[in-house]
């Protein structure tokens, strides 16, 4: 299973991304913790070790997903 870690800049962006990913049958969970939890740290480590992909904004995410 893939994990997508998203840190939306605004509430509007968060709502939009959550709805979009749900329509694509991708589970999205918003984490609102002061420090990253285990899953977030693991996803960040995967990106660091080139096992994942990092995007800087929603537009780049859409491009990577082929939307």
* Residue 61 counted as domain residue: yes
Of 39, 59, 55, 52, the closest CA to residue 30 belongs to: 39
- Band (66; pLDDT cuts 50, 70, 90): confident
* Residue 58 counted as domain residue: yes
**pLDDT of 1 above 60:** no
* Residue 17 counted as domain residue: yes
- Find out whether 15 and 53 touch, Cβ atoms under 8 Å: no
Give the domain range for residue 24. 11-65
Rounded distance between C-alpha atoms, residue 23 and residue 42, angstroms? 25
Rounded distance between C-alpha atoms, residue 36 and residue 34, angstroms? 7
* Residue 6 counted as domain residue: no
Rounded distance between C-alpha atoms, residue 30 and residue 17, angstroms? 10
pTM of the model: 0.47
Coil, strand, or helix at residue 48?
Answer: helix
What's the total number of domains in the chain?
Answer: 1
Tens digits of per-residue pLDDT, 9-47? 788 988 888 888 888 887 776 767 677 777 777 777 777
């Amino acid at each position: 299973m893939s994990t997508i870690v998203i840190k939306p800049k605004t509430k509007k962006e968060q709502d939009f991304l959550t709805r979009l990913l749900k329509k694509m049958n991708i589970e999205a969970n918003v984490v609102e913790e002061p420090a990253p939890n285990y899953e977030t740290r693991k996803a960040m480590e995967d990106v660091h070790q080139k096992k994942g992909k990092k995007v800087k904004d929603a537009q780049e995410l859409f491009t990577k997903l082929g939307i």
